[in-house]
Amino acid sequence: MSQIQIKEEMKGVEGKPETVRLIIEIPVCIRDEFKNAVERNGKTMKDVLKLYMQKYIWKQSELQRNRQKRRQSIG
């Protein structure tokens, strides 16, 4: 599969953070291998993907801060 498609469904309840359901189309063999690897470590796919996204967001914001610092020191 050459492209990953993501669909979003918004869900929200008063007092709770809004959540989004992501539907990602990937080949079955990748899903199965990922699921097996995750379960061997005693975790769920949902938990692993959530943690990965949080780390990715943190890393991107750190890179952005570093770029801004470099620009300020140059200019």
All structural domains of the chain with their residue ranges: 1-42, 44-75
Please state, in angstroms and rounded to a whole number, the distance separating the CA atoms of residues 10 and 7. Answer: 10
Which burial class, exposed, middle or buried, applies to 38 when counting CB atoms under 10 A from its CB (0-12, 13-18, 19+)? middle
Residues whose CB falls within 8 Å of the CB of residue 36, separated by 6 or more in sequence, listed in order: none
Three-state DSSP class for 17?
A: coil
Is the pTM here over 0.85, yes or no? Answer: no
Mean pLDDT, each 10-residue run in order, the chain (75 residues): 54 71 87 91 90 94 93 85
Q: Which helix (H) or strand (E) holds 26?
A: none
Model pLDDT, residue 20: 79
